[in-house]
Chains A and B, each alone.
Chain A
């Protein structure tokens, strides 16, 4: 398949790290990275039910003269054919439309918050809205280039978590890396989760690819995060609850991303992952 990942290139040392991570991700799962070098500090993404304006901080526009050659060097370093995206449509003269028909999008932890551009930081509202409306998974990279060697799926039994599990299985198949599943036993027992994946027809691929299924008590959330290997790609669902529950309890995914330094691959509520 011709899977494509869109990466918004930032011509800074931090941007280099995230780009290397995207390139590594693509090389590992046989996808094609497409770099977009922004020429204005904002762009629009039209999702099926929302238009999200992404405001980039000025580090994205630094040294435009060298941006393309730097990106090409990194492509070459990873032995990948350079591909760049040039916007064709513009909502306003300085507001390009970025298509939403890519298979993956690499999104830094915050695209518009200067205070948290280095380090873990918090997910900004734009990243949150992108994840909430994207029909494709979002890759949130680690702050420094860190090749991952295994896949860890956080599976909590929701529809989003099932999508995340399917995605984890797909990534494991295409990368050849082992798969671990982590489940926090909140209200149900182990058998419930096993029945769930059986019902979805995932038992066979999971048993073939999964190294271990780890179960934790509800209070052991932090232990679970610590147990995840530092060089593992974490695949998880996000924003599967309603607005009220999210508001009152907060997002588990946001807690994960502000705690661990791993690369995260996130499936939002509108994400659909076919196994084939």
Chain B
């Protein structure tokens, strides 16, 4: 055994420790393949169950099918997997920004099962967020298994995400961009190569297993200069729809949380609502890839009025599914709502200007999808590259950039936080690398504390104190109780000048008479942001740290600045 262990250690060191890029490339490929397999498994199982249930949809009682799925999904998540409902992407972002990408292993399969139950039964949600969660957890678990550090683990989380998205859409660049733009939030050289390889590996897995079942077939579109102005108008429309979608999703979720019903009851209510809408408008059911494909290829046959209504019906159905206890993501609903919006816009354009020579309905469906993704996720690059890969060329790149940039900018102006980030921002936990909040959260309050301080007794006579300050450079002196060592207050040199200049007082006063007992103190429980807030509010340059009535040390602003700079340099360095 020891010999094998020594061999392993030697090989591991020789291969990976000298340059961890090789390790990350190999581990990233494995993460990409595994997450790709997870994504393919979910897709195939969803297709099978949706096809099987399609035969029952014409029955009157079919509206309860999504309710049963949502019920099972909520019970599974709450009672078996013991995880919260929802899509899970904020959880991944939170883990990456605060805990070096540590995720529970159970997350690698729990969301796949719950979203299969929700979406498979007809719930209005997408499978992308669950596969992102699953891929991230696979990457994180692999990093744990290999004993990698935080930075390497974060890269593997990104690899898992990229592999999953690349696999589900057969779009490796979109996977890479989504992973970096939304999940990691930083474009670092060391991350890009492993994530790109993981994305390619994920896409290859999908192509190898289901080569004939690419979600969206590559379709070239003829887009010309005459489409620029309509694209601008479409961008404004998609921005409005994006903001509406985000607000409805959040408000519906809040209403559900306020209700006193248990989660499973809420899930049933949400499922029934979606089921009833689905009877009149089947386009809202499931992930909707089939409808999106028919819209892109121009074979979608619905009247403009119904398509217009379907936009809002899909928004409402998605909000009822995800807000009321179902499981799934918003990526596919964004694509569907976006394509419906694009088609409505195209039809309206042609009815107003019948002679206008602009691109086909399918092209506008794609532009609408870009607008929605860019608006809701505020991830413009993801929107652009996803559609570029779907169309298989760069013919539409100019209007895509126009729609994407305007939609994301307008949405950001109206709703500053994207759907994925909103929850984290509200909790004060949106900590992107290199930002002030992230640096402060990464600094440990214990390493900021200066402990080399002379403490003085509360019963010390002032003359003795004068002797101490003659030989010490301290500006603050913590005062403690004799015997117990309890912290009583602090003496600030600038505050006792009047006594120091009057030698007649030296033998007349004791330190407990002149110490400041009201000065604010911090404790080891406070995080650095709280400490800084206390110092700012009270205009202090230093603050005493007191724990269990014992003086621990002091935090000085100069020390914070030193460590802040060190951390900033570390976080923003190229490697």
Q: Using a CB–CB distance below 8 Å, which chain A residues touch chain B?
A: 2, 32, 41-42, 44, 46, 49-51, 53, 55, 81, 83, 88-95
Contacts and interface: CB of A to CB of B under 8 A. Distances in A.
A92 B84 contact: yes
A55 B147 CA distance: 25
Contacts of A2: 524, 547-548, 550, 552
Given A2-B548, A2-B550, A91-B94, A50 B144 contact: yes
10 contacts: A2-B524, A41-B82, A51-B99, A89-B98, A90-B429, A92-B84, A92-B86, A93-B84, A93-B423, A95-B84
Interface string B103-126: 110100000000000000000000
Contacts of B552: 2
Contacts, number: 46
Contact of B91 (A88, A89, A91): A91
Nearest to A34: B525
B102 A50 contact: yes
A89 B82 CA distance: 19
Given A2-B548, A32-B548, A89-B429, A51 B82 contact: no
A162 B548 CA distance: 31
Contacts of A89: 98, 429
A74 B284 CA distance: 57
Contacts of B257: 93
A149 B102 CA distance: 41
A88 B527 contact: yes
Given A2-B550, A92-B86, A49 B91 contact: no
Contacts of A94: 84
Interface size class of B (residues with CB under 8 A): 20 to 34
B99 A90 contact: no
B293 interface: no
B472 to A, nearest CB: 25
Contact of B95 (A42, A51, A88, A93): A51
B427 interface: yes
Contacts of A42: 82
A46 B99 contact: yes
Contacts of A55: 82
Contacts of B548: 2, 32, 81, 83
What 9 pairs across the A-B complex have the smallest Cβ distances? A51-B102, A92-B84, A46-B99, A2-B547, A32-B548, A55-B82, A51-B104, A53-B104, A2-B548
A91 B99 CA distance: 10
Contacts of A44: 104
A49 B144 contact: yes
Given A2-B547, A91-B94, A53 B99 contact: no
Contacts of A49: 102, 144, 147
A2 B82 CA distance: 35
A89 B548 CA distance: 23
Interface centre among B95, B104, B106, B427 (most CB of A within 10 A): B104
B527 A91 contact: no
Nearest to B99: A46
B341 to A, nearest CB: 31
A2 B90 CA distance: 36
A88 B122 CA distance: 37
A51 B103 contact: yes
A242 B12 CA distance: 18
Given A2-B550, A50-B144, A53-B82, A91 B95 contact: yes
Interface string B64-82: 0000000000000000001
A2 B548 CA distance: 7
A89 B86 CA distance: 18
Interface in B401-458: 423, 427, 429
A23 to B, nearest CB: 15
A94 B90 CA distance: 14
